[in-house]
Amino acid sequence: MQRSYAEALVNRTDHTCYGLRLHAFCLYDLLFLALDQNAAYFGDQPTQEDLLAAVLICSSKPQDLLSGRHTLTGWRKKWFIRKAMFTPFAAELAKFRAYIKDFDSRPEFFSEKGGGKGMRAPTILSLACFIEKHSNMTEREIMTAPIGQMFWKSAAIAEMEGLTSAEIMTQEEEDLADEMIKEAQENG
């Protein structure tokens, strides 16, 4: 069994960053971090502003984010930002990365790269639609479930359906796989 599967299932529930409790990292969180192109998740050199935005996303209720706002508003948001200015950035960034590592544990799709071109739909949408089609989960259940579990669920469904990784990989995943192979060849 891949260790990352166990990691996707067993998660700490006490993740906090800048004093805010972070909920289970889910596809909605990934979606909003992607829309923000947030460097706390996607970049090597995040700023404190990136981390604050990521923490607000990962501590807000999905229905609030879908309505275009964070759960933390008004004076509470101002207090949060002010308090964060006096908190060591590196320590909080480490907490956020530990939170992501705890929840975002995916199957190793890239071990058998197929020959065909992947789907063109965004990875998040493809994953959600695939699980919704092959399970009785609703879109909201899929989008708010811990992200690692959803990646594993989709991998298990694909395997049961007899699909190869090349058939279910999106263009984003193919590009990432190509990048990883190229990097490995350069470093190898």
pLDDT tens, 46-67?
999 999 999 999 999 989 999 9
Q: Are residues 19 and 98 in the same domain?
A: yes
Strand partners, 170: 119
Q: Are residues 94 and 125 in the same domain?
A: no
Q: Is residue 1 part of a domain?
A: no
Instruction: Residue 168: give the domain boundaries.
Output: 109-187
Q: What is the pLDDT of residues 116-166, one digit of tens each?
A: 444 466 778 888 899 999 999 999 999 999 988 898 899 889 889 888 766
**What's the pLDDT score for residue 1?**
52
Structure tokens of 187? Answer: 């470093």
Q: Are residues 88 and 59 in the same domain?
A: yes
Domain count, the chain: 2
Q: Is residue 4 part of a domain?
A: no
Q: Are residues 75 and 126 in the same domain?
A: no
**What's the pLDDT score for residue 115?**
43
Q: Are residues 88 and 45 in the same domain?
A: yes
Q: Is residue 5 part of a domain?
A: no
Q: Are residues 147 and 83 in the same domain?
A: no
Q: Are residues 56 and 39 in the same domain?
A: yes
Q: Are residues 122 and 93 in the same domain?
A: no
Q: Are residues 96 and 118 in the same domain?
A: no
Q: Are residues 50 and 115 in the same domain?
A: no
Sign of CA dihedral 47, 83, 60, 106: positive
**136-166 burial: b if 16+ Cβ within 10 Å, else e:** eeeeeebbbbbbbbbbbbbbebbeeeeeebb
Q: Is residue 7 part of a domain?
A: no
Tell me the C-alpha distance between 178 and 108, whole Å.
Answer: 14
E strand or H helix that includes residue 92? helix 89-103
Specify which of 3-17, 42-56, 168-182 reaches the highest per-range mean pLDDT. Answer: 42-56
